[in-house]
Amino acid sequence: MAKVSVGLRGWRFEESEIFTEDGNWRPFDEMHDEDRERLLRLRTLVTKPCDACFLVHGEEDIERCREAEIVYGEPKSEVVLCDEHEADFRYWFSEAGGDDYRGEDELQDAFHGWFDDGNRAPEAFGGVDHVDTDPEALPDPPNPNDDEDRYRITLRDAMEPEETDLDEDALDDIDLSADYPS
Ligand SMILES: [Zn+2]
């Protein structure tokens, strides 16, 4: 049993629930509703800029926004972040009351409000060092409009490794297998 990410880090799927044994996508109607909803949502999210970058630069300076690398929260009220701003979300979630919004529709607005007020993770909070993790190597979400051949996945061997090394300053209890920082 292995957990895998698709498109962005953060949301995790049980590999056998979304892929057949020979590495093709399962048909959507064989998936759990939650998996299907997240995979479909990921198709939109992989093209989005980081929420925090967007709050800083806005539409008029969109080219300065970094690409989203990780997603937290529930579909439609999720937060997507670049590697740099992930630390701000983790800090907000674990130290600044964000945990109150776990599983709630208000999570996105609450984080955006906190960040937009100028709040940031302190320098000493540290970050997560994603050794051996190459987001570019995550498989793309399946496209329900494509013909069946396009469901075949060629990047299966390049999926996110299980091991993630935390740097010394990171909180001991961060668990990347969760949808939220712990
Ligand atoms: Zn960012």
Per-residue confidence in pLDDT tens, the chain, 182 aa: 789 999 999 999 999 999 999 989 999 999 999 999 999 999 999 999 999 999 999 999 999 999 999 999 999 999 999 999 999 999 999 999 999 999 999 999 999 999 999 999 998 886 655 555 555 578 888 877 665 444 444 444 344 444 444 343 443 444 444 578 76
Number of domains in the chain: 1
Is 44 strand, coil or helix? helix
For residue 31, what are the domain limits? 3-158
Going through 104-169 in order, the beta strands assigned E by DSSP cover none
In a domain, 166, yes or no: no
C-alpha 127/C-alpha 151 separation (Å) is: 35
* Ligand 1 center–CA 135 separation, angstroms: 15
In a domain, 90, yes or no: yes
* Ligand 1 center–CA 109 separation, angstroms: 16
* Ligand 1 center–CA 33 separation, angstroms: 30
The amino acid sitting at 2 is A
* Ligand 1 center–CA 55 separation, angstroms: 9
In a domain, 169, yes or no: no
In a domain, 177, yes or no: no
* Ligand 1 center–CA 65 separation, angstroms: 6
pTM of the model: 0.75
In a domain, 144, yes or no: yes
